[in-house]
Amino acid sequence: MTVEESRNCSAPVPPPVAASDEALNPWFSIWTRPRATMRQILDTDPRRMVLPLAALGGIAGGLGVAIAPGVGDTYPMSAVLAGVVVGGAISGIVFLFVLGFLLRLTGGWIGGQGNGVAVRCAMAWSNVLGVWGLLLWLPRAALLGGETLYAEPPSIEGEMASIVVLQALKLIQFVIAIWGFFVTLKCLGEAHRFSAWHSFGACIIALLILAVPSAVIAGVVVALRF
């Protein structure tokens, strides 16, 4: 075997992508075919819907924070929702650029080929699952009304049917969040042209990088209080 043949045999096999004559609808296909969907988007328009999806992802995350104890059941629902929409959208876009930069950097350290546009595209489109999850707030609102954002809605205490429905909605949201994490790893892997395990490693390194300044800031705040 020649040196050139040896190189060809050891070359990494590109991940599977959608067939050239197959048009995927990313709003649905990303659930089960995240790599093929991501490749199609990256090959056509990697800037498509990136900022709106980042904003919607931030809003979806903000709603999860809003039902934490002491938030939705303490402040007026209108004020909390306004904060979620405005703050969530802004934080989602900021998160996209900050973490996108770090994941481009850390992914490159372990062999990734994605540039900033590709990585931000992957992060934004992995929010699709969370955007679909926003629909689950409709039956929650219908069930709880003014207590929609309460961590423990008092109006359904003792009502077994309502409790079961609420717990089922929470379970579905949890499953979507878990699956969304795996979809994110697949999408990031496609952007960088490496495996989901490499994506996980890039995320861990990025979080460790973020942890250092966070720890320093926390230490300064604690020191200033004494």
* Distance in angstroms (rounded) separating the CA atoms of residues 30 and 188: 13
Confidence category of residue 223, pLDDT binned at 50, 70, 90: confident
Q: Is the dihedral of CA 51, 182, 66, 207 positive or negative?
A: negative
pLDDT at 151: 82
Other Cβ atoms closer than 10 A to 68: 11
7: in domain: no
- Enter the tokens of residue 49: 């819907």
Q: What mean pLDDT comes out for the span 11-30?
A: 67
Q: Is the dihedral of CA 149, 150, 154, 159 positive or negative?
A: positive
- Enter the tokens of residue 53: 């999806």
Confidence category of residue 226, pLDDT binned at 50, 70, 90: low
Confidence category of residue 116, pLDDT binned at 50, 70, 90: very high
112: in domain: yes
- For residues 172-209, one letter each, b for 16 or more C-beta atoms within 10 angstroms of the residue's C-beta and e for the rest, the string is ebeebeeebeebbbbbbbbbbbbebebbbbbbebbeee
How would you class 152 by CB atoms within 10 Å of its CB: exposed for 0-12, middle for 13-18, buried for 19 or more? exposed
- For residues 76-114, one letter each, b for 16 or more C-beta atoms within 10 angstroms of the residue's C-beta and e for the rest, the string is ebeebbeebeeebbebbbeebeebbebbbbbbeeeebeb
pTM for the whole thing?
0.83
Residues 165-218 pLDDT 10s: 999 999 999 999 999 999 999 999 999 999 999 999 999 999 999 888 777 777
Number of domains into which the chain is organized: 1
Could you tell me the CA-to-CA distances from 138 to 135, 157, 173, 174 in Å, in that order? 6, 20, 13, 16
20: in domain: no
9: in domain: no
12: in domain: no
* Distance in angstroms (rounded) separating the CA atoms of residues 45 and 216: 39
Mean pLDDT of the chain: 87
* Distance in angstroms (rounded) separating the CA atoms of residues 195 and 102: 18
91: in domain: yes
Q: Which of 78-82, 86-90, 106-110 is predicted least confidently?
A: 78-82
Is the model's pLDDT at 54 over the cut of 70? yes
Q: What is the domain extent for residue 51?
A: 34-224
16: in domain: no
18: in domain: no
* Distance in angstroms (rounded) separating the CA atoms of residues 123 and 55: 12
